[in-house]
Structure 1
Amino acid sequence: MGPLSYEFETADRTRTLWDPALRVGQLYVSLAQGAGGQLGLPTGLTPNERGGADVDLETFRKFTQGLYDAYCSTRHFIMHDLMRGLLLASIVMLENGGGAITRVPEREAGLLTEHDAYQRGMWVED
């Protein structure tokens, strides 16, 4: 039997940022890579030998900030819907690593109304 989850850890492997089900983690990585390619941003996610990903927090912070800035730069509701899940998961994972992005709340178009639900769903033990 193969792995059941897809663990995201800091690059130095001292902290787990998120430990979703295998297919959820794989889908997140695919979406992040696609968005990163579209935005010209490295994700900071590196697949590891344990079947998860190591996360370079500074690169990942820049990626998450770039996603956020792209989200806030448009009022296109379909673009917002397409980006929302990836962006919220990225923000929570970054926060789980002690990081944060620079926010402009008046441009968020309700983005963080689901933040608490994502935070509860992505809870990890310190």
Structure 2
Amino acid sequence: MSYVFAVGDDVIWDPALRVGKLFIAIADSLGDHDELKGVRNGLSMMTSDYYNVNPQELADYMRAVLTSSVVRNRAYKELSRGFIVACLVMLERAGVTIEPVNDSQRDLFEAKSEMMRAM
């Protein structure tokens, strides 16, 4: 069993079931963060294990995450790292590129190529 994250008919990631559940749990948890309330994350559940990805909404969400205390707080950043990098990979696979706005984000973007091979 696996999760599916797709843009239209194109699957951009299909992690194992537990990995997909963890990813969605982190997305839901970050959505409760005060600085991110009201910002759509671009992930729409079609079925319990199939999500449609809106690349523009995900890009806007990631820009909000990258400028929030999620990244400014060292512990929060490290705990959220895998989720953030996975989102950057999905964006690239969807044809959307975002760039770091400061040096404190650069390591997340540098981790993207290694994570792309793992995903």
Normalized against structure 1, the TM-score is what?
A: 0.80
Larger-Rg structure: 1
**By how many angstroms is 1:25 displaced?**
0.8
User: If each structure's strand is expressed as a fraction of its own residues, which one has the higher value?
Assistant: 2
- Tell me the percent identity: 28
2:46/2:52 contact within 8 Å kept: yes
Q: Which runs of structure 1 show a deviation greater than 3 angstroms over 4 or more consecutive aligned residues?
A: none
Pairs aligned (count) = 116
Provide the rounded CA distance (Å) in 1 between the counterparts of 2:69 and 2:9: 31
Is 1:15 paired with 2:10? yes
Partner of 1:94: 91
Larger RCO of the pair (alpha carbons < 8 Å, separation 6+): 1
Structure with bigger helix share is: 2
Residue in 1 aligned with 2:64? 66
1:46 corresponds in structure 2 to 44
* Higher mean C-alpha displacement, 55-64 vs 65-74: 65-74
What root-mean-square deviation, in Å, do the aligned CA atoms of Structure 1 and Structure 2 show? Answer: 2.0
What displacement does 1:14 show? 2.5
Name structure 1 gaps, 5 residues minimum: none
**2:88 and 2:109 in contact (8 A); partners too:** no
Unaligned runs of at least 5 residues, structure 2: none
Q: TM-score, normalised by structure 2?
A: 0.84
Cα deviation 1:11-31 (Å, max 9, x = unaligned): xx2211101001111110111
What does the per-residue CA deviation read over 1:85-107, in whole Å, with 9 as the maximum and x for residues that have no partner?
A: 11101110111100122322423
> Residue 79 in 1 paired to residue 70 in 2?
no
